[in-house]
Structures are given as C-alpha cells and as structure tokens.
Amino acid sequence: MAMSAIRDFSLPTPAQCSVMDDEARATVGIGTLMERAGWAVAREIRKQFRPCRVLVLCGPGNNGGDGYCAARHLERAGWPVSVAALAPPRPQSEAAAAASRFRGPHVPFTAESARRADLVVDAVFGAGLSRAPSSDVMEVLSASRMLVAVDMPSFIDGTTGEVLCDGSHDALSGDGPSRDGPSGDALPDYALPDYTLTVTFVRPKPGHVLPAGRRKCGTVVCADIGMPLSCLEAARPDIFLNAPGLWHVPAMSPEDHKYTRGVVSLCAGAVMPGATRLAAAGARASGAGLVRISAGENACAYRLGAPGLVIDDAPLATLLEDVRRKVWLCGPGLTGAEVEASLPLLLDAGRIVLADAGALGWAAGNPGRLAGVAVVTPHIGEFTRLFGAPGADRVCAARRAARELDAVVVLKGSVSIVAAPDGRVALNDHASPALATAGSGDTLAGVIGTMLAAGMPRWEAACAGVWIHGEAGRNAGDWPIAEDLDRCLGAARAEAIRRDAATVEPGAGGLACETQDLAVKRPA
C-alpha cells in the first residue's frame, strides 16, 4: 500500500498499535508520546468545555498513563482535577512515571466519585482492552454525567467496534442494554454510557468507525503526537477509511469518447425490470459512456424506458462477441433461472462481472457458483446466505469471504465494508440513512459498474462507487427514493475528483492528522 494511503487513510487495529508502540519505543520513546497524548487530551477538553470539576479514571496501562498526564496538564491550567485509579501502574513503567508526576488529589474508584464530577475522563483501558470490563468499572462509567474517552471508550473493542460488557455481549451491541439477554439472563444494572468526546492518537481505529463504537464515541478527534510515519508503516495497517485519495476516479478529458468512459452492460429478466433499470440509471448518472441492457425476448418492456439506454435483443452469446463490452452487471432484477442462463456465459467469456441480488440468491449456500466474478455486493442477509453468519467481527468475515471467492466483497450496511482478496479493507462511513430504501442497492451496483468500466481496479472501483453513492445519498434531500439519487450522482463523482485533487502531499513525511479532516462526527 502506498505510504500516502497509510498516512492519510489507515485505521490501525489495537494489535497493529502495539507493533507501532514497539517501534516507537526504540525511537521517540513511549514516555514522550504519552506526555503528548495527555497534553492533547487536556487541550481538547479545554477547547470544548468550560472549567469544571474533572475526575480522571486511570487504568493500570499506558491508557491510564495518558490519563495521569492529562490530569496534570488540566490542573496546571487551573482546573479542579482529581484522579481515581482502578489499579496502580506497573512499577518502573512509563505510566508509573506519569502517575508520580500528578500531585493532585486521589479519590476512590467509585460511582460516588464519578457522580461528584462534572466531567469524567475515561483512561481506564484503551488499545490494551482484552476482555469485558468488570461491572465495577461499568458502574463508575455509567454514573458519569459527561464522559471524555482517552483513545477509546473502555468497553469498546478497537478492532470491531463491538461493545464488550460482562455477560451481555451480543445483546448490548446496539444502542444500550435490553433487559433480557438472548438466553433470558438478567443483565447488569447499569446503562451503557454515551461519550461526548473521544480523543485518539496518530490515526483513528476501526472501532471508532464501526458500529456500535461509532455511536458511543461522540465526536472523535485524532491528535498528532509526533509518531514517526515509519512506526505506522511497520505496523502494516490493512484497514482504511474510505475516501477520495485512497482511490482516483477518472475526471472528464477533452479526448473522451463513450468507449474511453466505458460501457456498462446489464443482463435483464422478464419479471423485475425495475431493479435492472435502476442499476442502469445509476450507471449512466455516474458517468458511464454507454449503458446497454441485454433483454433478449423481453426487449420491448425495456424500450419503453429512458431514451439514452441501448436495449439489445440479440442472444447473449452474440453480444459477447463485442470485446468493448468488458463490464457486466448480473443479478439486479434477475430470477435464479435467468442468472443461471447468463452468468456462466459472462464468466466463460472472461468478462468483468459484478454479481448482486438475484445472482447472490442463486449462489446461496454454494458461493463457488460465483467463482470468477470481480465484485459481489451483498447486504447482511445475502452475505449470511452465501458465506454463513459473519459474527461480531464483520471485517474479518468480509475479508475471509473475499479471499475464499477471490473477489471484492462489498458488505453493505450503515458502515459498508469493502474487502479485497489481498486483505485490504475499506470502511465507508460516508453515507446516509436515506440510502436505506428499496432500489438503492441496484443504483450502487450501477455506480460500481461505471467505475469498473472506467478502468479502475476492482477494489478501488468498489470503494469509489460506495463513496459516490454515499455522497449522493447525503445530498438527495429528505426521504429520497432510489430514483432521486441519480440526479446527485454526477455531482458526487465530481466531488470525489475535487477532494482527491485537494489531497496535499506534506513534504515532511509526518503524520499531521490534526490538519486533515479526520474528525468522525457523531451521526445527527
């Protein structure tokens, strides 16, 4: 992966952060980074809140160390600060050194202490969170009126974004505890707290972007603490935030003709023409040079549609003689029988195929039927029927599926996951709940088809398609229907090109997170 992509878009997992820390130990030193991390937390708090009574909850590791440093900096700024330690730091550790420099009051690690504070800073566990925190920790956190997390809320898994809570794993992965677990077990007597602010360092982590972490973190600010880029590189991050610059969408050029822009072809069926037409419209509106529908004996029905579409009635085998028609969508609007009659022909002819909808249903329980396709775009139900239930770690499941199928897997959701067979994953949070409407997935298939037809490699094409579709959804007004997305897709593509061009190459090779747009805002 290019160094600029690692610098600007990577989302290192906690395991990769620990590799980064090992590298940093030999260069800048953890003590220095901890000091800067604590200072950054104090600075953000001073920026976003008025002076008030602060309680800093410190765990035994380096997350706690950051907390002691933040406490000292806030105290120096004249804020009333006390610290409650869950457990003392390991003797001779950097965290112990940081703890010894805080000379302010210590109070017991209790819910009562938390209730007395106006603002509670959670520096209990960060990247080192290895299991569900005890109910004692959870009770103190949930007694807090206002919470700021150091690096990550202490009950969010930084890799998966999942809520880790005693005995209530899956039941609590949503917005808060339901009263009964899956087996009817009584759940703990606390509500999962929401955070106002999370201050993380170097780069955001997958858990800041994925649900439920995303909902719990509040505003996420990523602070530059002077981590050398070489340390981040050594950690070999392979999960990225999906945004322009991670990929490059071709712009318009004076030399363009419709075949350089690219041809998108679609297989059409007899009974669900709407889905095929929505996918075709999405392909056209996102800039395909030419969109053709292969409708066979159903051609008449499709000829009543948009005048810019070309409707073919020749047999598919004949159409495949035209080598300019490289990219095909197969699945939107098709029955299993129609997929069976078309997909094998497309694959035998070596075409770049995006399989969606009917094609995914046709291969349910037998994903090998899709061998040879370039991209699949399942929602969670289709994914489960194809590859089995993904479990809590959807990134891992999507990556495994991509490797097994040797195809790019776009697992669609509020945060869509785009996984490549080589292990790269992009997380797309650039979307809108407005996209959760019938037909929106057909439009997405069309947009990705256009990116493939423009000559983009398949993972980049899928990432770009997902982002452009998300951007259109954000601009399509209130309660849009799928057709409304089309009028926003051209501007969305132009915005992707504009933002990509605006990506500045910093000469120093540093990780200047704060100067870039890395704040992941809480969804409205």
Ligand X SMILES: NC(=O)C1=CN([C@@H]2O[C@H](COP(=O)(O)OP(=O)(O)OC[C@H]3O[C@@H](n4cnc5c(N)ncnc54)[C@H](O)[C@@H]3O)[C@@H](O)[C@H]2O)[C@H](O)CC1
Q: Binding-site residue total for ligand X (CB under 6 A)?
A: 29
Stretch that binds ligand X, among 55-63, 279-287, 348-356, 466-474 (CB under 6 A): 55-63
412 marked as binding residue = yes
The bridge status of strand 310-312 relative to strand 290-294 is parallel
* Residue type (1 letter), 311: I
- Tell me whether residue 170 is annotated as binding: no
* 127 counts as binding ligand X under rule CB under 6 A: yes
| Terminal-residue alpha carbon distance, the chain | 33
Region near ligand X per CB under 6 A, out of 128-136, 250-258, 291-299, 462-470 = 128-136
Residue 44, interface with ligand X (CB under 6 A)?
no
Q: Is 122 annotated as a binding residue?
A: yes
DSSP alpha helix (H) spans, 143-257: 206-209, 213-217, 229-234
Give whichever of 59 and 204 is closer to ligand X, judged by the CB atom.
59
Strands annotated E in 13-153? 54-58, 81-85, 119-123, 147-150
65 binds ligand X (CB under 6 A): yes
The response to whether 181 counts as a known ligand-binding position is no
Binding residue for ligand X (CB under 6 A) from 102, 201, 240, 387?
A: 201
Bridge-based pairing of strands 147-150 and 119-123 is parallel
DSSP conformational letter for 369 = G
- Binding string, residues 21-40; x marks residues near ligand X by CB under 6 A: x--------x--xx--x---
Region for residue 29 given its phi and psi (left: phi exceeds 0; alpha: psi -120 to 50; beta: otherwise): left
Please tell me the distance from the alpha carbon of residue 18 to that of residue 1, in angstroms, as a whole number: 20
216 marked as binding residue: no
Measured between alpha carbons, how far is 452 from 469 in angstroms, rounded to an integer? 15
Q: Is 376 annotated as a binding residue?
A: no
Burial of 118 (0-12, 13-18, 19+ CB in 10 A): middle
Does 198 sit near K ion (CB under 5 A)?
no
How many residues are present in the chain?
Answer: 524
Q: Which of 57, 84, 120, 150 binds ligand X (CB under 6 A)?
A: 150
Nearer to ligand X, 128 or 457 (CB): 128
CA separation, residue 478 to residues 169, 182, 481 (Å): 35, 36, 9
The count of C-alpha atoms lying within 13 angstroms of the C-alpha of 449, restricted to the half-sphere facing its C-beta, is 38
154 lines the binding site for K ion (CB under 5 A): yes
484 counts as binding ligand X under rule CB under 6 A: no
CB of 436 to ligand X, least distance (A): 33
3-state secondary structure of 319: helix
Residue 488 CA to its chain's centroid (Å): 22
Binding mask 102-131 for K ion (x = CB under 5 A): --------------------x---x-----
Nearest distance from C-beta of residue 337 to ligand X, angstroms: 52
In the complex, least distance from residue 126 CB atom to K ion, rounded to whole angstroms: 5
Q: Work out what residue 35 binds among K ion, ligand X, none; the CB cut-off runs from 5 to 8 Å by kind.
A: none
Q: Binding to ligand X by residue 126, rule CB under 6 A?
A: yes
Contact residues for K ion (CB under 5 A)? 122, 126, 149-150, 154
Contact residues for ligand X (CB under 6 A)? 17, 20-21, 30, 33-34, 37, 59-66, 125-133, 150-151, 201-202, 227
